[in-house]
Structure 1
Amino acid sequence: MASDLPPTIDPVAAARWHERAPALSPWLHEEVARRMEQRLGWIREAPRAWCHWDPVRGGLEAHALLRQRYPDVPCLVNETARHRQAAAHEALAPAWWSTERWGRGAVTFGAPQKGSVQMLWANMLLHSEADPRALIGAWQRALDVDGYLMFSCFGPDTLRELRAVYQKQGWPEPAHAFTDMHDWGDMLIEAGFAEPVMDMERITLSFATPERLLQELRELGSNLHPARHPALRGRRWHRTLCQALATDLALPDADGQLALSFEIVYGHAFKPVPRVPVAAHSAVSLDEMRSLLKSKVPRT
């Protein structure tokens, strides 16, 4: 697989965004998580433990839906951005007097141990990751054999109207490129996952004003493209941008409403029993032996 596949991400900018992104769950993230949660109905066996990876940005309301679906299943919350860990504790930790602190479905915080969970949930995260293969590998290691990954992210058709506006004005790209779902499927297989199922849908949002549209985009993410505009722009440029948005994104017969589309990619894959290389003499680790001896869990 080519190393220069999208996303075209500046790793320094990506790390800065990860550490400074607002401690809130954007509306679109919550909506995507709600739709992804409905897909869990296809899986017959509940996990014995699951991990919510970066829930503050991924969706705190969605976390409540998952807890309702699996009320007796322990949940590990792994908020990887330090400045959002306090928000995760405040929103998700049971009160000190609550029996949920010691119940079967207790919530704990921290990074998952190797093979410790049967479901890993990561919503709207992967498209802003500078090293997605490393992140997918970390997810694979956290899962137990026959555990499964549920994730979502932006696809390449996201913001196509905004990209057209910038191209028309002769400006640099307004956002980094987003990876195609087939490339995500290839990366999952490379990381050791099996049976990846990739799906996508397009969501079109409308906005009353250019200012509201730009506010929504600021909450959703940051432009991580290496060739993005190198400096801050002034009020004149901002006025030109707002005028271009109002003209080029206006819906016909919609009282000036502006439309912007988002491609949402959904991914689902299992961690299979590890393969033992066949040779005259083969060495198998204790962890691999335990995995090989585990019985299969019914899937879908």
Structure 2
Amino acid sequence: MSHALPNEAPKAASTARNVDAAAVARVLGRWAAAAEPPWLHAEVARRMAERLPVIRSQPEAVLQWWAHAGASDALLRQTYPKARQLQVEPTPALLARSRQAGSAPWWSARRWAGGGAQVLGEAEVPAAAGGLLWANMVLHAAIDPPALLAQWRRALAVDGFLMFSTLGPDTLRELHALYADLGAGSPGAPLVDMHDIGDMLVHAGFADPVMDQEQLTLTWATPEALLAELRQLGGNADPARAPGLRTPRWHHRLKAALAERAGADGRIAMRFEVVYGHAFNPAPRPAVAAQTAVSLDDMRAMVRAGGRPPRKPSP
């Protein structure tokens, strides 16, 4: 299902989500320490790469936002072999990991799979740094999505292209229902609806935003395998989650309830809503007024764009 968003100013988007920042930091720490990024991230990257033909221009530089967890480096190098790869990481541990991958010996397969990229912290990314900003499975971990979208627009060159994926609110509905049955609170922080993300894109100044989504169903042979993979994917960052540590008795109840939900094949199924979005970064256009102030950065961007007005949405 695909939706082109109308060219009208929606209601103002909210700012920060109600998310436990310390819990998000623990998730990022686990990703930095894990041998590989989550399997689902790599699968979503493959599916998102199938949408790259919509970009006809060849970017000189590609920004991989949260590069390690995005699991997209090989796909982007294959698609854009001549482009500079800029890997952006959110924490010192992830920065160190990506830089270590780039400093492997010249004969190491690990170096040629992930080396040769410039690795930057989020605060180090210069304005207009790349023609494509690729953010796979990032936005649902953002504490302040509108602020992150504004940062993405600043990092993109004029007429640059944003492609991203994130998890939508139908993700793990079965697990939420199970927790409700057990009276166990929330198993995860609420996720942002794709229409709200589209509104945020418009407010951030992006042009031609298009959103679509698909449902993926994953199955596991045992409750233990399911819980282990969910922990690899993230953690419960909902401030409304049950406080304190769970007891062994609680874990036994949870695993028994999961086992009861197994299908005829003996496997336990959970659905994930994966949301995809793309948009352009248009040239800035000052508001018309009796007196208009235009920043020097905006003037330079308009000069680089040849004075072109922002791209208009497709009908």
Q: Same fold (TM over 0.5)?
A: yes
Q: What's 1:64 paired with?
A: 74
Aligned partner letter, 1:269: A
Q: What's 1:46 paired with?
A: 58
Q: What's 1:178 paired with?
A: 191
- Indicate yes or no: 2:27 matched with 1:14: no
TM-score calculated relative to the size of structure 1: 0.89
* Contiguous gaps of at least 5 residues in structure 2: 1-10
- Indicate yes or no: 2:236 matched with 1:236: no
Task: Encode CA deviations 1:150-193: one digit per residue, 9 max, x unaligned.
Answer: 11110000000111111111110111111100000111111111
Task: Encode CA deviations 1:59-97: one digit per residue, 9 max, x unaligned.
Answer: 1xx211110111111111111221122221233457558
Confirm or deny: 8 A CA contact 2:170 2:273 kept in the other structure. Answer: yes
Separation of aligned partners in 2, 1:275 and 1:219: 43
Structure 1 residues 258, 78: CA separation in 2 closer, same or farther (over 3 Å shift)? same
Separation of aligned partners in 2, 1:95 and 1:112: 27
Structure 1 residues 37, 246: CA separation in 2 closer, same or farther (over 3 Å shift)? same
2:50 partner SS: helix
Q: What's 1:90 paired with?
A: 100
Root-mean-square deviation (CA, aligned residues, Å) is 2.6
Q: What's 1:34 paired with?
A: 46
Q: What's 1:247 paired with?
A: 260
Confirm or deny: 8 A CA contact 1:94 1:107 kept in the other structure. Answer: no
TM-score calculated relative to the size of structure 2: 0.85
Aligned partner letter, 1:216: E
Confirm or deny: 8 A CA contact 1:51 1:112 kept in the other structure. Answer: no
1:188 to 173, 198, 201: 201
1:162 to 156, 175, 178: 175
1:202 partner SS: strand
Q: What's 2:4 paired with?
A: none
Aligned residues: 290
> Pairwise mapping of residues 65-214 of structure 1 onto structure 2 (< 5 A)?
65-92=75-102, 95=105, 106-110=116-120, 111-214=124-227
Structure 1 residues 42, 92: CA separation in 2 closer, same or farther (over 3 Å shift)? farther
- Indicate yes or no: 2:298 matched with 1:285: no
Query: Which range is displaced more, 259-268 or 289-298?
Result: 289-298
The percent identity for this pair of structures is 49
Aligned-pair distance for 1:36?
0.5
Structure 1 residues 182, 81: CA separation in 2 closer, same or farther (over 3 Å shift)? same
Separation of aligned partners in 2, 1:29 and 1:2: 30
Query: Which range is displaced more, 272-281 or 36-45?
Result: 272-281
Separation of aligned partners in 1, 2:105 and 2:294: 45
Separation of aligned partners in 2, 1:238 and 1:97: 46
Confirm or deny: 8 A CA contact 1:6 1:177 kept in the other structure. Answer: no
Aligned partner letter, 2:196: D
Separation of aligned partners in 2, 1:92 and 1:266: 29
* Contiguous gaps of at least 5 residues in structure 1: none
Task: Encode CA deviations 1:182-220: one digit per residue, 9 max, x unaligned.
Answer: 000111111111111111000000100000000000000
Separation of aligned partners in 1, 2:232 and 2:280: 32
Query: Which range is displaced more, 200-209 or 122-131?
Result: 122-131
Separation of aligned partners in 1, 2:276 and 2:103: 28
Confirm or deny: 8 A CA contact 2:149 2:201 kept in the other structure. Answer: yes
Aligned partner letter, 2:53: G
1:71 partner SS: coil
Query: Which range is displaced more, 16-25 or 166-175?
Result: 16-25
Structure 1 residues 137, 275: CA separation in 2 closer, same or farther (over 3 Å shift)? same
